Structure 1
Amino acid sequence: MFDIFKKKPEPSPVQTPVAETLKEFTNSLGMEFLYVDGGEFTMGRNPQYEEGGDVESPPHSVRVGGFWVSKYPVTQEQYFKLTRINPSYFKNDKVEEESSRRHPVEQVSWFDAKAYVELLNRYEGKAHFYALPTEAQWEYVAKAGGNTRFTFGDSEAMLDEYAVYEYTANLRTAVIGSKQPNRLGIYDLIGNVWEWCEDDFFANYNNAPSDGRARLVGAEGIEGESFKVRRGGSFKTGYLCLRSSFRGYSRPDFVSNDIGFRLVINADPFS
């Protein structure tokens, strides 16, 4: 099957792995994105473990279309380039000033994150191009083709290699990419800062969409104040908050020095 002694012909231009070269995209602000193939996965708690409860139940099958996800959360530098402000707490004298621009931006509300998305779309002359990830997209990336407790596997013994959290954080955020990426090559999915998602928060997954769309209060005809989902845990949290299926939530106007965001692209950036 693997005949290493047989001379192979030179590959023709048609055989060049073009698809592989188009798996990465860098935008005008230097944000790096990776393409994630679509597929089906089980969203919600893993019944194998006694954790998660109703808020992560019932586990259900979701089919997600292909999309692009940023390799890192949005940094202070990237946020400042468009808004001309840096709301972050961990800057200047709070961390090494020279590297603070590469720390994730924080103290941004969900409204701030959405405004940044709109600003970036206008800056690059796009319409509905960049977005916050839906909760399904975020968990799909975190589970990376499986249903493990964490984005790298099942054992918390390896968390120190992958997450900036309560035992590795020194009570502050860290430079993006300072820990190992998950199997898809995505960094800082767990720990460092929580990441806002598009979705409103519901107390369970009953009647949740099965196609990866954001679940929104208004779309389901429900009135009242909504909370927004945030995922991934932060430098303040313990290991249980770093599980792939763990769900956090806050009011959309809430800000904290451990909440930031990352972006997705739901279109072809090369078209």
Structure 2
Amino acid sequence: MLALVGWFLVGGAARCASAVDFVKDVKPILEQNCLSCHAGEDSDSGYDLSTKKAVFDSEYNEPMVVAGDPDASSLYTTMAADADSDELMPPADAGGPLDKKSIDTIRAWIAAGARWPASETLHPRAKPRDRSYTPDNRDLLEQIHAKIVEQSKRDASAKIAGYEEKIPRTGVVFEMKAIPGGEFSMGSPPTEVSRHDNEGPQAKVTISPFWMGAREVTWDEYEPFMVTTVERRKNGARKDYDPQRHTMVDAVSAPTAPYMEMSFGMGQSGYPAISMTQHAANKYCQWLSAQTGRFYRLPTEAEWEYACRAGSRSAYSFGDDPAKLSEYGWFYDNSGERYHKVGAKKPNAWGLYDMHGNVMEWTADQYLPDYFERVNKSAADPFMRPRTLYPRAVRGGGWDDDPENLRSAFRKGSDPIWKQQDPQLPKSIWYHTDAQWLGFRVVRPQRTPTVDEMDAFWNSASDLIK
């Protein structure tokens, strides 16, 4: 019997059970994962893990800890329960199941005699956020990265030009336009009519070549990602995920079922997808990349404005006269209080449709009022990696906006009020139900990214959402 010789497999390697130290190895696991609910006499269900006496004298259903016998110890058996079991501790909505290393450490500690210094009292402490409880983790990023590297080798000899891509799982085709690299003056000059203070002072910015979606992502593209028959945890992981049976596409976190019809009666096929959070848009890009082997993501603010301007220096890509706006975009004056099919108006000089109006578009950046002060310190391909959940930067203006908000330099930050109608507690991480004028389009940089760069774009909210 393994317990007699004192060796266990922990994290794939043999580990001596007697080497498990309570203070160093066991205490952090309990304090970070269990004590927030199970400390003191008023703890949930009377399950008190704060002191040695409370744990070893407990008569809660079955003994919490039986020294030398993990399988008779409910502390271990509940941690080792199936992910969908009602017995799982901590439960799935509180961060469970724990990673295998932590579970094996608790087993090894109990099997070795469950030594607990009498002087040690446990207290709740914050757990460093990680994504170990979901298949959408670092291992998945590395798998997708390997596929992207292989595809980039096949693409290396191809001419840098626009192309069409078919989404393998759905057969839906979308178009990408080649955007040449270059330098431009980002922001608006002080003399521009209707200019806002957050649009400058202008900065000289250099942009590397990339591809951009000719049109906003439509429901045809997005809905198969958003609506499936798969049961999901709140974090978007499949409840039935099996690495032996499912692909890396299945491992990507995806939205839980929407709680209302998300087009709000404005139209679906050919119309822009709306009301997703930036996190949802990011995960769509990851889902798309896992299928195609090409790195798709949201544009940075700088890439978005550069592409919108298409070489122009005027308020709009077509000039300064808002009277011409109805030729290029849908906004308050001509939209009829609804969005319209993508690509119905004139494109800009680089073949991009609806950059002015129809729906406002997500970018990848944190929204920063002092953005331009920061850009002036690093003006090559700037990206303000998000550090807080709000605000995140959006661009372009939408069908409910006045012309001044459709200018190339107009920028805005996201707001929690965009979830006002959401009846869930906590609010959904996938939907901005009150932002019915908000969508996105994708970009693909010419340079192959690193794994860390992929993580920065696709998972910028994963450590912040609850």
Which bracket does the TM-score occupy, shorter chain normalised? 0.7 to 0.9
Structure 2, gaps ≥5 residues long: 1-156, 168-172, 229-256, 417-428, 449-466
Indicate how the Cα distance of structure 1 residues 230 and 184 shifts in structure 2: closer, same or farther if over 3 A, else same.
same
Residues 58-87 of structure 1: CA distance to partner in whole angstroms, max 9, x if unpaired? 101000011000000100010023333696
Query: For residue 281 of structure 2, what is the aligned residue in structure 1?
Result: 113
> Does the aligned pair in 1 maintain the 2:285–2:296 contact within 8 Å?
yes
> Which residue matches 1:49?
192
Deviation for aligned residue 1:105: 0.2
Alignment of 1:264 with 2:432, yes or no, is no
Partner of 2:362: helix, strand, or coil?
strand
Match for residue 58 of structure 1 among 201, 205, 224: 201
Q: Are the counterparts in 1 of residues 189 and 200 from structure 2 also a CA contact under 8 Å?
A: no
Paired residue for 2:177? 34
2-structure distance, mates of 1:54, 1:95? 34
> Which SS does the other structure have where 2:302 is aligned?
helix
Equivalent pair of 1:31/1:70 in contact (CA under 8 Å): yes
SS in structure 2 of the partner of residue 108 of structure 1: coil
> Structure 2 vs 1, CA of residues 246 and 20 (structure 1 numbering), >3 Å: closer, same or farther?
farther
2-structure distance, mates of 1:242, 1:25 = 27
CA RMSD, 1 decimal: 2.3
Going by fraction, where is strand more abundant, 1 or 2?
1
1:236 is matched with which residue: 383, 391, 400?
A: 400
Structure-2 residue corresponding to 1:11: none
Q: Is the 8 A contact 1:227 1:249 kept in 2?
A: yes
Match of 1:190 among 352, 356, 362: 356
TM-score by length of 2: 0.48
Determine helix, strand or coil for the equivalent of 1:51: coil
- Asked whether 1:82 is paired with 2:246, we answer no
Equivalent residue letter for 1:214: F
- What do the CA deviations read for 1:94-149 (whole angstroms, capped 9, x no partner)? 246xxx210000011111101101111112234xx101000000000111112110
Q: Measure how far apart 1:89 and its partner are.
A: 3.6
Aligned counterpart, 1:181: 347
Contact kept in structure 2, 1:191 and 1:242, CA below 8 Å? yes
CA distance in 1, matches of 2:193, 2:162: 38
Q: Distance in 2 between matches of 1:173 and 1:47?
A: 32
Relative contact order: is structure 1 or structure 2 higher (C-alpha 8 Å, sep ≥ 6)? 1
- Match runs of 1:67-78 below 5 Å: 67-78=210-221
**Count of equivalent residues:** 239
Residues in 1 aligned to 2:325 and 2:182: alpha-carbon distance in whole angstroms:
26
- Contact kept? 1:46, 1:149, Cα under 8 Å: no
Q: CA deviation at 1:213?
A: 2.5
CA distance in 2: counterparts of 1:259 and 1:227, whole angstroms: 14
Indicate the larger mover: 22-31 or 168-177.
22-31
1:61 match: secondary structure? strand
- For 2:196, give the aligned amino acid: G
Which residue of the other structure, out of 202, 224, 227, is the alignment partner of 2:391? Answer: 227
Q: SS of 2:279's equivalent?
A: helix
Cα distance in 1 for residues equivalent to 2:389 and 2:266:
36
**Bigger Rg over Cα:** 2
Taking structure 1 as the reference length, the TM-score comes to: 0.81
Shift of 1:34: 0.7
How much has 1:216 moved relative to structure 2?
2.3
**Secondary structure in structure 1 of the residue aligned to 2:319:** coil
- Extract unaligned runs of 5+ from structure 1: 1-18, 219-223
CA drift at 1:54: 2.3
The question of 1:212 aligning with 2:348 is answered no
Of 146-155 and 62-71, more deviation after overlay is shown by 146-155
Paired residue secondary structure (1:78): helix
**Cα distance in 2, alignment partners of residues 242 and 137 from structure 1:** 16
Tell me, yes or no, if the aligned pair for 1:76 and 1:101 is still in contact at 8 Å: yes
Distance in 1 between the 2:218 and 2:298 partners? Answer: 15
- Which letter maps to 1:24? G
SS at match of 2:269: helix
| C-alpha distance after superposition, 1:28-83 (max 9, x if no partner) | 23110010110000001123324323201110100001100000010001002333
Q: Which residue of 1 aligns with 2:45?
A: none
Residue type of the partner of 1:206? E
